[in-house]
């Protein structure tokens, strides 16, 4: 990369308010890189919101000039305003040419049965199987044309190693419509819910019943309201997170930053600690605000005398 290209990148990151002039120059530089690179394998838009309007032309250039070499393509973004943003026009036909594409990240707004057709057997040329599909769900209303269960079954037939990562970012609507996105045949391995301020308990139960074999990581990160952690009011007597940890036999990491107001949540540690001794190292991160309760549980589990320790 030339000094000019590096300077343009710095302009986009540090001087975003100087207008679209720098954005156009940066996009022109990206176009030149795509046209003249030899065997370009990885391409990302870096979650820069200003580049959203240029997804279609950049994707077309990649399909023309880097069709045989492109292996990972990252188009998913993080929206400056998750409730109001423009949607680019992305043609599924562009993915037909990217025959070696194995990793794709994209906003859920664009994912549909039609968009996934190039990754099925109907494609005219033999292609490498897709291994990772990463979808970002934002604040806009979840579209009606979500991927059907039949399409997920077909995806697994022709992409047997496929792992799906679903990330909800400031998406209250996405959380409420999570059951419309999840399907029994979806190979969901990673679920990340970031600052959604709510929890869809029905979706957690759905994962327990249908996706328990696939799930490997579960992240919940909430913000603070008046310096107080979030509290989920609709947690029932049978804690769904405890059941999630118990049922998901391949769960490797459970991260919960927030406070749901039910300390039976620590049962997860008991369940997964037993598994970690037998099979794998398990990582657990929990925000708790009751130190004495933690001491009591740890003392009970591991025979440690922590109750008199400050």
Neighbours of 254 (CB within 10 A): 24
Domain boundaries, the chain: 1-36, 42-151+172-178, 199-310
Closest CA to 198 of 223, 215, 228, 181: 223
Question: Where is average pLDDT lowest: 127-131, 149-153, 234-238?
Answer: 234-238
How far is the C-alpha of 143 from the C-alpha of 132, rounded, in Å? Answer: 22
* Count of residues in the chain: 310
The dihedral sign for the CA sequence 106, 107, 110, 116: positive
Rounded to a whole number of angstroms, the distance between the first and last alpha carbons of the chain is 55
Q: Are strands 42-44 and 72-74 parallel, antiparallel or unpaired?
A: parallel
- pLDDT bucket at 105, cuts 50 / 70 / 90: very high
Phi, psi values for residue 281, rounded to 5°: -75, 125
Mean per-residue pLDDT of the chain: 76
Q: What is the DSSP letter of 64?
A: H
pLDDT for 301 beyond 60: no
How far is the C-alpha of 246 from the C-alpha of 249, rounded, in Å? Answer: 7
- What average pLDDT does the segment 275-293 reach? 44
- What average pLDDT does the segment 199-210 reach? 92
pLDDT of residue 209: 93
292: Cα separation from own chain's centroid:
35
The crossing angle, in degrees rounded to 10, of helices 267-278 and 240-247 is: 10
């Amino acid at each position: 990369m030339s000094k000019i290209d590096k300077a343009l990148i710095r302009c986009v990151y540090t001087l975003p308010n100087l207008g679209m002039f720098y954005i156009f120059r940066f996009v022109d530089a990206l176009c030149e890189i795509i046209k003249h690179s030899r065997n370009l394998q990885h391409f990302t838009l870096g979650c820069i919101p200003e580049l959203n309007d240029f997804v279609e032309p950049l994707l077309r250039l990649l399909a023309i000039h880097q069709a045989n070499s492109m292996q990972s393509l990252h188009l998913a973004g993080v929206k400056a305003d998750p409730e109001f943003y423009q949607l680019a026009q992305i043609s599924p036909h562009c993915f037909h040419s990217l025959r070696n594409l194995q990793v794709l990240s994209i906003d859920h707004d664009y994912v549909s049965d039609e968009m996934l057709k190039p990754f099925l057997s109907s494609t005219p040329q033999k292609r490498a199987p897709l291994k990772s599909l990463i979808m970002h769900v934002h604040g806009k209303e979840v579209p009606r044309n979500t991927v059907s269960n039949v399409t997920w079954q077909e995806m697994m037939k022709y992409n047997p190693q496929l792992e799906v990562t679903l990330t909800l970012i400031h998406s209250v609507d996405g959380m409420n419509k999570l059951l419309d996105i999840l399907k029994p045949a979806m190979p969901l391995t990673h679920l990340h819910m970031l600052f959604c301020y709510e929890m869809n308990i029905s979706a957690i139960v759905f994962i327990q019943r249908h996706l328990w074999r696939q799930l490997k990581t579960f992240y919940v990160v909430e913000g603070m309201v008046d310096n107080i952690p979030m509290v989920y009011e609709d947690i029932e007597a049978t804690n769904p997170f405890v059941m999630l940890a118990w049922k998901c036999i391949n769960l490797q990491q459970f991260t919960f930053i927030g406070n749901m107001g039910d300390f039976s949540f620590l049962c997860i540690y008991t369940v997964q600690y037993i598994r970690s001794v037998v099979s794998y190292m398990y990582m657990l991160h929990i925000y708790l605000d009751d130190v004495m309760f933690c001491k009591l549980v740890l003392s009970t589990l591991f025979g440690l005398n922590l109750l008199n320790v400050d």
